[in-house]
Chain A
Amino acid sequence: MSAATETKTEANTKTVENATCTFCGCLCDDMVLTVDVDAHKITKAKNACVLGKALFLSHEEEDRPFALIDGKPATLKEGVEEAAQILTNARFPMFYGMSDTTCEAQRQNVALVDMVGGTIDSTTSVCHGPTGMALQGVGESTATLGEIKNRADLVIYWGGNPAESLPRHFARYAVTAKGMYTPRRKKDRTIVNVDVRRTKSTPVADIFIQVKIGADFELLWALRALVKGRKVAPDIEKRTGVSLETMQDLVERMKNCRYGVLFFGMGLSMTRGRHFNAAAILSLASDLNEYTHFIATPMRGHGNVSGADMVVSWQTGYPFAVNFSRGYPKFNPGEFTATDMFARGDADAGLILAADPGSNFSQYAIDHMKKIPMIVLDPKLTHTAKLAKVAITTSHYGINTGGTAYRSDGVPIELRPCLESKYPSDEEVIRAIYKRVEQLLKAKKKTKSANNKRRKAA
């Protein structure tokens, strides 16, 4: 960290400027954090929204053991040893999580799964995995958020509620932000909200369009037809809850704007139609490029879930749900996605890095996790950590440890930690496990070949 951004203001406080909040996909990098060094606490988080404030101000390093093995306190070394033994002896280990950690840790995690021939998946598979699959079918027209801030005069929020999940999305990027060609902020933009019900985000919109539950795909497809100049029967209203007139009005606005954006949330990617919905909205934006510049982009939640997609993609060629049991990467969502692997009872061990599937996976999956040896790396004693054979306490990324996180639009940001921690980072723990597993596998290979020789000799 440079001296310019960290200043000691008084004997016992310091300020860290330009720090990044990793709470949501906005990844705001304008935090000004005041730290009470003696009390080991963050006392002020200037520029943070309510969620960000909660993250920083409530941060307290719990006094937990470095590791728990079968619920009993253990040292870090013991925890690493136990984890390494589990992974060495597993035939089909499942690695999952990675949304709340740095790319540096993610990179080591993929190296580890590659070595043990396991399966890896990130939380992408339970949020915008379908969007990734849609991309593979139809492509996408996308942009970094700054381009949207500077140019977008038509902004459509579809199936998402940024007011609550991405609180500064409006102010920093797309509604009240002041950009190069949008100097009058909201006055230079038309905001549309499409959703199955009114949300906290609806009041910001100039136009609200309420679509029937489960009819997003039909609405998107009708809009595509209208954009292409095809006829759509008026009874489309019965199916979608949206009148043809409203659709025609929206289509005219879309075709005639200078730079249009469709932001979409899990209301599309995780409801009936899933990757068909995502493909429909991506295609709608692409079609509109015949008339004007148009973008479609998912709104993503967790801090660095985009980084997990990035890392897994550059290391394996595929974004999530990747299996290495043949010694090379194979991709198959549904087969290698974590929730399915656990629910089917396929995995014989698990490593959960910086996520809590024990709190949101299906009961079938959780029941299976209870049966197999699980390894959990997390700053907190999560639901998953409670059911784990080994739970290793790690420091908090972004607060205690630096590294890289990717914003939902692919902009990478270097994190600026502000507090020391006695706990190791995720990256350090994964590296330690890697080293130990490597030794164990080599030893295993040796005894195997020695046994083979003996057998041959006999």
Chain B
Amino acid sequence: MGSTLRIVNGRVYDPANNVDGKTRDICIKDGKIVKSVPPKTKTIDAKGMVVMPGGVDIHCHIAGAKANIARKLQPDDHRRDVMRRLDLKKINTRSGTGGTVPSTFTTGYRYATMGYTTAMEAAVPPLLARHTIEELEDTPVIDKGFYILMGNNVLLYQMLQEGRHEEIRNAVAWWIDSTKSYTTKLVNPGGDEPWKGHRNATITQLNDKIDGFEQLTPRKIITSMVSAVEDLGLPHPVHIHCNNLGHSGNYKTTLETMKAADGRRIHVTHIQFHSYGGKPDENPTSKAPAIAEYINNNPNISADVGQVMFGKSTSMTADAPLAWMLTRYSSDQRWVNADTECESGCGIIPFAYQEHVYTHALQWAIGLELFLLSKDPWRMVLSTDHPNGGTFTSYPRLIRTLMDKEFRKEQMNSVNQKAVAKIKRAHHMEREYTLQEIAIVTRAGPARILGLKNKGHLGPGADADITIYDEHEDKELMFSAPRYVLKDGKLIIDNHEFKNNHEGKLLHVSPDYDEGIKDVIRPFVEDFYTIKFDNYAVSDNYIHHHEVIPTTK
């Protein structure tokens, strides 16, 4: 292409390169950021504007089997929120519907119009990876990847039960490689066996024995997966959704899980949902201070918050017992359960977080506490566990809540007062996030945690994924409508208008493994799955625009 571009006069927030609001030129050539471009290059004048790397969403649910059931389930969710098809000069866009689980095209366009250029789908049963890849291909503009569910994998259980650690490592590598995924995800490890095989029971303690696997406990599963992923040098560590999500008193399980990592890297996701005190089946209390303190003091841990936002949401999770528990608190009679053979469970329910409800108000406040108590924004990054806590389109409002304490106080005063009485007066409620800190929790931090070296910063060599905002007092307004968005150097949003379509890349990892592992996996698949082993791996026919992110080994 040889196309070049220069962004001039903008105030640049590029925390990875220690640039904090200085006026700098950003030069772009062939979709990458470079040191310089010839003087006679086309320019964008960003005077009075803020320049940041494109946003990176480390944890969301946007594509694949469960997202698609959630779409089918809720026509009421789409009806009032539609997206028209555009006839652009160069290319047409596709129409779609929104709501809490938008159609694929709408998902891509909406991330882009918000200045986000990368998003990671966080929970895919490996058997259904092909489906996720097809949907991600229909999710335009943004780069994307996905995590495969490995915490309830029956073959890995058998191997672990027999202490076959080397095979586990090879099997994990085979699974990552043959599904074209990014890392492993553990969801309520050990929970599926009692759920599917023992009349919908679940597991609550890290040292509980798992149904049918007497030698196994959630702790063993977690530590074995941490080792395997570390040995393989995956760019992102094990991504963990701890046991006991949503239950009062679960902060103990969360602390224990983090301790079980024993100094090795893990990422604990939507940690807000795992920071509750109180007794089981009674009202929760906030244990955000204890959780935040542990993370502040332990650099091997990273987390995303999983902030709750008031309004309509969709609870969709691989944690099937959790969704079942939530039906007790939902006024909507719809409930979905979907088991995937030998690999996963899944639960979906339409949900709404309401200001006046004690628990909802508390959950909202706990999320904010975690943000405000975090001493290292690089390791406590922004998410709503879209669409579980709220949709990704609510990020701008969340950003304002972090940056503007008056706005925060106003909200604090309008929610259930019993829930927030103590939190309201806490010293940390006075903190306001700076633009630089926002740049960290929404782009630089997630990119670093993901090991995406070309994302989340504006130094030479980075992908030219850039967002330019008008500076504005109202940060919600500012972050919901960037003036320019560039993806791979291409101007997608130009002067607030959607001008160009783009096909984003699939980001995946391809670790090495011993070919012999196939002979171990093959007979298991042939016996206990319902497709042939040779039809399991996702072939290269499904891979079009993609990038293999190297391992560190």
Q: Which residues of A contact B (CB under 8 A)?
A: 2, 4-5, 17-18, 20, 29-30, 103, 107, 111, 114-115, 132, 135-147, 149-151, 172-173, 178-181, 258-259, 286, 289, 291-293, 295, 309-310, 313-319, 324, 326-329, 331, 402, 404, 406, 410-414, 438, 445
| Cα-based distance from A397 to B342 in the complex (angstroms) | 30
Q: How many residues of B contact A (CB 8 A)?
A: 67
Contacts of A438 in B (CB 8 A): 92
Query: Is the C-beta of B310 less than 8 angstroms from some C-beta in chain A?
Result: no
Contact between chains at A412 and B336 (CB < 8 Å):
no
B422 interface residue, CB < 8 Å from A?
Answer: no
B82 adjacent to chain A (CB < 8 Å): yes
Of all A-B residue pairs in the complex, the 8 with the closest CB atoms, nearest first, are A146-B341, A317-B97, A143-B339, A328-B82, A139-B334, A141-B337, A317-B78, A146-B530
Residues of A within 8 A of B542 (CB): 414
21 A-B pairs within 8 Å (CB atoms) are namely A18-B532, A103-B134, A140-B338, A142-B336, A142-B338, A144-B341, A146-B529, A289-B324, A293-B197, A315-B138, A317-B77, A317-B78, A317-B97, A318-B97, A327-B85, A328-B82, A328-B95, A328-B96, A331-B78, A412-B134, A414-B538
Shortest Cβ gap from B407 to chain A (Å)? 32
Task: Among B68, B333, B535, find the residue whose CB has the most chain A CB atoms closer than 10 A.
Answer: B535
Question: Could you count the A-B residue pairs with CB atoms below 8 Å apart for me: how many are there?
Answer: 199
Contact between chains at A138 and B530 (CB < 8 Å): no
Give, as a whole number of angstroms, the nearest-CB distance from B247 to chain A. Answer: 19
Q: A29-B531, A135-B73, A314-B104 are in contact. Are A180 and B96 (CB under 8 A)?
A: no
- Shortest beta-carbon distance, A203 to chain B, in Å? 24
Q: Which residue of B lies closest to A412 (CB)?
A: B130
Question: Is B340 an interface position by the 8 A CB rule?
Answer: yes
Instruction: Give Cα A83 to B15, complex, Å.
Output: 55
Most A CB contacts (10 A, CB to CB) among B92, B337, B531 go to B531
Q: Which residues of B contact A114 (CB under 8 A)?
A: 85, 94-95
Docked CA distance A148–B339 (Å): 9
Complex Cα gap A30–B529 (Å): 12
B312 interface residue (CB < 8 Å to A): no
Contact in complex: A139, B105 (CB < 8 Å): no
Contact B78 A315 (CB under 8 A): no
Q: A402: which of B73, B335, B541 is its contact (CB, 8 Å)?
A: B541
Q: B534, A18: Cβ atoms under 8 Å?
A: yes
Q: Using Cβ atoms and an 8 Å threshold, which residues of chain B touch A406? A: 131
> Which residues on the A side are within 8 Å of B336 (C-beta)?
139-142
Q: Which B residue sits closest to A179, measured CB to CB?
A: B528
**Is residue B102 contacting chain A, with contact meaning CB distance below 8 A?**
yes
Report Cα–Cα, A141/B336, bound state, in Å.
5
Q: How far does the alpha carbon of A349 sit from the alpha carbon of B188 in the complex, in Å?
A: 52
B348 at the interface (CB under 8 A from A): yes
* Nearest CB in chain A to that of B83: its residue: A328
Q: Within B257-299, which residues are at the interface with A (CB < 8 Å)? A: none
Chain A residues within an 8 Å CB radius of B82: 328-329
C-alpha gap A141/B67 in the complex (Å):
15
The chain A residue sitting closest to B530, CB to CB, is A146
Known: A142-B338, A286-B335, A411-B128. A329 touches B96 (CB 8 A): yes
Q: Are A315 and B103 in contact (CB under 8 A)?
A: yes
Contact status B528-A180, CB under 8 Å: yes
Closest CB in chain B relative to A362 CB, distance in Å: 26
The residues of B with any CB-CB pair to A shorter than 8 Å are: 63, 65, 67-68, 71-75, 77-79, 82-85, 87, 92, 94-97, 99, 101-105, 127-128, 130-131, 134-135, 138, 154, 195-200, 324, 333-342, 348-349, 527-532, 534-535, 538-539, 541-542
A142 to B336 Cα, complex, angstroms: 8
Known contacts A145-B341, A329-B103; A410/B75 CB under 8 A: no
**If the complex has contacts A136-B75, A149-B530, are A107 and B138 also in contact, measured as CB distance less than 8 A?**
yes
**Of listed B79, B105, B339, B541, residue having the most chain A CB within 10 A:** B339
Closest residue of chain A to B196 (Cβ to Cβ) is A293
Across the interface, name the chain B residue whose C-beta is closest to A291.
B199
**A426 to B78, alpha carbons, bound, how many Å?**
30
Q: Determine the chain B residues whose CB is within 8 A of the CB of A402 once the complex forms.
A: 541
CB–CB A173/B530 < 8 A:
yes
For B198, list chain A residues within 8 Å (CB): 258
Give bound CA distance, A17 to B85, whole Å.
43
Whether the pair B73, A414 counts as a contact (CB closer than 8 A) is: no
Q: How far is the CA of A326 from the CA of B79 in the complex (A)?
A: 13
Q: How far is the CB of B224 from chain A (nearest CB, A)?
A: 21
What CA separation (Å) do A310 and B74 show in the bound complex? 14
- Interchain CA distance A102-B349 in the complex, whole Å: 30
A155-B63 Cα distance, complex, nearest whole Å: 31
Choose one: B92, B130, B333; the contact of A414 (CB below 8 Å): B130
Taking the closest CB of chain B, its distance from the CB of A185, in whole angstroms, is 13
Residues in chain B near residue A20, CB distance under 8 A: 535
Contacts of B135 in A (CB 8 A): 314
Could you say which residues of chain A place their CB within 8 Å of the CB of B349? 139
Q: Which residue of A lies closest to B212 (CB)?
A: A181
Q: Bound complex: CA of A270 vs CA of B499, how far in Å? A: 47
Residues A289 and B68 in contact in the complex (CB < 8 Å), given A5-B534, A314-B103, A315-B105: no
Asked if B72 contacts A292 (CB within 8 A), the reply is no
In the complex the two chains form, is A111's CB within 8 Å of B94's CB? yes
Q: Roughly how many angstroms separate A317 CA and B80 CA in the complex, as a whole number? A: 12
What is the bound-complex CA distance between A331 and B80, given in angstroms?
A: 12
Are A146 and B342 touching (Cβ within 8 A)? yes
Which residues from chain A contact B72 at a C-beta distance below 8 Å?
Answer: 132, 135-136, 309, 313, 318-319
Question: Looking across the interface, which residue of chain A has its beta carbon closest to that of B339?
Answer: A143
Complex partner residue of B199 from A140, A292, A410, CB under 8 angstroms: A292
Q: Which residue of B lies closest to A137 (CB)?
A: B334
B81 to chain A, nearest CB (A): 9
Report whether B127 and A411 are in contact in the complex, using a CB–CB cutoff of 8 Å. Answer: yes
Given contacts A259-B197, A327-B95, contact A29 B342 (CB under 8 A): no
CA distance A400 to B340 in the complex (A): 30
Please measure, in the bound complex, the distance between the C-alpha atom of A179 and the C-alpha atom of B530, giving whole angstroms. Answer: 10
Whole-angstrom distance between the alpha carbons of A291 and B87 in the complex?
A: 54
- Contacting pair A313 B68 (CB below 8 A): yes
A144-B340, A327-B85, A328-B82 known; A314+B197 contact, CB < 8 A: no
Instruction: Chain A residues near B199: list those with CB within 8 A.
Output: 258, 291-293
**A180→B154 contact, CB < 8 A:** yes
Give the complex CA separation of A18 and B533 in angstroms.
Answer: 9
Q: How far is the CA of A138 from the CA of B337 in the complex (A)?
A: 12
Chain B min CB distance to A232 (Å): 22
- Assembly CA distance A5 to B84 (angstroms): 45
Nearest A residue to B324 via CB reads: A289
Using known A-B contacts A139-B335, A142-B338, A144-B127, determine if residue A29 contacts B197 with beta carbons closer than 8 Å.
no
Which residues of chain B are near A291, meaning CB under 8 Å?
Answer: 199
